[in-house]
Chain A
Amino acid sequence: MGHFFEFIVEHLSQFLQFTAFANMTVGHIIMICIGLAFIYLAIAKEFEPMLLIPIGFGILVGNVAFAPGYQIGVYESGSVLNYLYFGVLQGIYPPLIFLGIGAMTDFSALISNPKLILIGAAAQLGIFGAYCLALALGFSPTEAGAIGIIGGADGPTAIFLSSKLAPDLMGAIAIAAYSYMALVPVIQPPVMKLLTTKKERLIRMKPPRAVSKTEKIIFAIAGMLLTTFIVPSGLPLLGMLFFGNLLKESGVTKRLADTAKGPMIDVVTILIGLTVGASTQATTFLTFKSVGIFMLGAASFVVATFGGVMFVKIINLFLKEGNKMNPLIGNAGVSAVPDSARVSQVVGLEYDKTNHLLMHAMGPNVAGVIGSAVAAGILLSFLA
């Protein structure tokens, strides 16, 4: 009988050692709080709920402390989460998301006013601003490149590049990128207001012209060939983006386009969000480097907004009256589709209730997606 109780006690204590309570650290509790904050922001404030809910819940999943060796955690070979995380590590999910983005994006605004493409290039200044700052803070060149891409305000691109350049920092970079994308309505307006005069904010832009189907088809094909011929390392992202767009614009592959922009992107978003969230285990995530990454991420968004707005102001110096652009669309060059374009619209309406900037801002917004993928390709070529 005594032997039996000894057996029970021994196994009970072993069971207790396996519970999350026994393995919990302060770091895990902090991360769980961060996960809960993400979920709260997504549900109560509706900040990017499609991203913050999977990521927030993923953070909770990743920070349930467990005894290692049982193929549970995202970093343990052979675990289910590890298999799902493979798509992040190998950069499989981001191109699939780009396929969906391409299938749901209408490039008409960009095609009708090609000037707007250049704003998408100017706003990439945020990437390289953060790169310089990261180098100054002592990050290695590859880490600095991966951190810089946060300024592209493009989650899939950030995950793709960091998985290649600095896989150890990928969790922090992805979380920072998605967090700041969600906080675009908070970060950008003060910078936009600071850099523009009231007169500039009231500029009305010409309505975009109607774009033919042929133009849209040519855009998808020529856009892919031109950008990837210059930066072949951007092929996985740009190739898929324009392919998705061709599915949409060709008009004969509606089913494929519907799948790409519907069920497929939903599935991949769930997987990428959950696994990126789960990759933020306190043991690997809570470091001074992560804090630095978050600070640099915020700075990169500010610099990117600065770059976009200032570029429009400079271009306006060379444009005739009537052709001028409203600098409030400059912020939209940072990608973060469509939130940053929405910010342009909201800020524009604050000064003129009838001046709708949304359609104009969508041009630099989608150009920003192309620009950040090109920038990622350059960083990959120079630093990998």
Chain B
Amino acid sequence: MQRRIKHFLSGIAVLLLIVASTNVASAQNASDLKINEILVLNDSNTVDDFGMHTAWIEIFNSAYNTVNIGGCYLTDDLSNPTKYWIPTGDPTTKIPSRCYMVFWADNHPTRGIFHLNFDLDGAKTIALFNADGRTLVDKVDLPLENKPDITYGRPTNDSEQWVYLEKSTPGANNDYTRKKTAGESFVEIDPYGVGMTAIAMFVVFSALAILYVIYKNMGRFFIRKAAGTVKSKEKVETKVVKQVKEEISGEVNAAIAMALYMYQSEMHDHENTVLTIQKVSRNYSPWSSKIYTLRKTPR
């Protein structure tokens, strides 16, 4: 039985390892940042905080917590990954969960931390590097020809594909069409809830059935173990009793009983009756005061 449980558990462990090795977990830090949308030729698109039409790069925080982009690097040259260092210690570099941040590629870094020290004229690649300046977080190869005022970006937040977007959305979701909620989509294919009932009951039953199978087998194991312990205990006890019976005669038993009786009687008859009264004096201290250690009676 122990062997079977061991095999079962090791099987589960192997299965979990296989499944886990195929998954990629979200790190919830700077590595979750993505370059999301880029405008190279800005003729009449969004203006920056100086009223200028300049190229811009949008970063998306795909994590489910706030990520600080401060300390990371933006570059248009992979051989120089630390081209623009995004300053640290500034509260505005924090990107809330699933939100966006726009950097102006105008080669005017003196205009603020969101203005880069390069522009996108002739740029072939845009890359974001981690704070160590070596780890690549995200990289985009720009198309050879850029259309004025048409942005190049991911059609949805989670897309790996890059396309020309119909509408530029700096600082906002690239996918602006109304999406059905999970519930709405589910109800379209299951308007009466029968499918949901069947699937959900199956999952609930499966979850609890797995518990049932495990505990049924575990219960058997523990019952057998308990029975084994009791049997071996009984065996040892009967063996000892047999040996004792064989070895000790009735006279010896009587002598032991008499000795015990006498010892107990003696204990009873000569009790210690000396009383000692000793005064104990304690100096007052608020630390030892009873007032501070007792609860007040509720009124």
Contact = CB atoms under 8 A, between A and B. Distances in A.
Contacts of B194: 132
B101 to A, nearest CB: 26
- Chain A CB count within 10 A is highest, among B201, B209, B211, B226, for B211
Interface residue range, chain B: 20 to 34
Contacts of B110: none
B280 interface: no
B201 A382 contact: no
A286 interface: no
B219 A112 contact: yes
B295 interface: no
A375 interface: yes
A215 B183 contact: no
B219 to A, nearest CB: 6
Interface in A113-131: 114-115, 117-118, 120-122, 124-125, 127-129, 131
Nearest to A223: B211
A117 B216 CA distance: 11
A140 B193 CA distance: 12
Given A117-B208, A230-B210, A141 B215 contact: no
Nearest to B210: A226
B196 A382 contact: yes
A197 interface: no
Contacts of B214: 222, 226
Nearest to B215: A114
B203 A125 contact: no
A111 B204 contact: no
A115 B212 contact: yes
Given A214-B222, A382-B182, A231 B197 contact: no
A65 interface: no
B256 interface: no
Given A120-B208, A226-B214, A378-B203, A132 B182 contact: no
Contacts of B284: none
Contacts of B222: 211-212, 214-215
A205 B222 CA distance: 21
A196 interface: no
Interface in A191-236: 209, 211-212, 214-215, 218-219, 222-223, 226-227, 230-231
A136 interface: yes
Given A118-B212, A226-B210, A230-B210, A135 B183 contact: no
Contacts of B215: 110-111, 114, 117, 219
B182 A378 contact: no
B204 A374 contact: yes
- Chain A CB count within 10 A is highest, among B200, B209, B219, for B200
A275 interface: no
B47 to A, nearest CB: 34
A367 B192 CA distance: 28
Contact of B208 (A131, A214, A367): A367
A218 B218 contact: yes
Contact of B201 (A111, A112, A128, A384): A128
Contacts of B210: 226, 230
Contacts of B207: 121, 226-227, 230-231, 370, 374
A56 interface: no
Contacts of A114: 211-212, 215-216, 219
Contacts, number: 120
A243 to B, nearest CB: 17
B173 to A, nearest CB: 18
A95 interface: no
A97 interface: no
A145 interface: yes
B112 interface: no
Nearest to B182: A383
A382 B226 contact: no
A142 interface: yes
B23 to A, nearest CB: 12
Nearest to A144: B193
B205 interface: yes
A135 B212 contact: no
A145 B187 CA distance: 11
A308 interface: no
A130 B90 CA distance: 51
Contacts of B209: 117-118, 121
B184 A132 contact: no
Contacts of A165: 183
Nearest to A371: B204
Contacts of A140: 183-184
A370 B211 CA distance: 11
Contact of A384 (B182, B205, B208, B226): B182
Nearest to B188: A141
B208 A374 contact: yes
A125 B196 CA distance: 11
B257 interface: no
Contacts of B183: 140-142, 145, 165, 382-384
A379 interface: yes
B206 interface: yes
B223 interface: yes
Interface of A: 110-112, 114-115, 117-118, 120-122, 124-125, 127-129, 131-132, 135-136, 140-142, 144-145, 165, 209, 211-212, 214-215, 218-219, 222-223, 226-227, 230-231, 367, 370-371, 374-375, 378-379, 382-384
Given A121-B205, A132-B197, A223-B211, 7 more contacts: A117-B215, A124-B200, A124-B204, A136-B192, A230-B207, A231-B203, A379-B200
19 contacts: A110-B215, A114-B216, A117-B212, A122-B205, A136-B192, A140-B184, A141-B181, A141-B183, A141-B187, A142-B183, A145-B183, A165-B183, A215-B218, A219-B215, A226-B207, A226-B210, A231-B203, A382-B186, A383-B183
Interface of B: 181-184, 186-187, 191-194, 196-197, 199-201, 203-212, 214-216, 218-219, 222-223, 226
Which 10 pairs show the lowest CB-CB distances between chains A and B? Answer: A141-B183, A132-B193, A128-B197, A114-B215, A383-B183, A121-B208, A141-B187, A378-B200, A230-B207, A114-B212
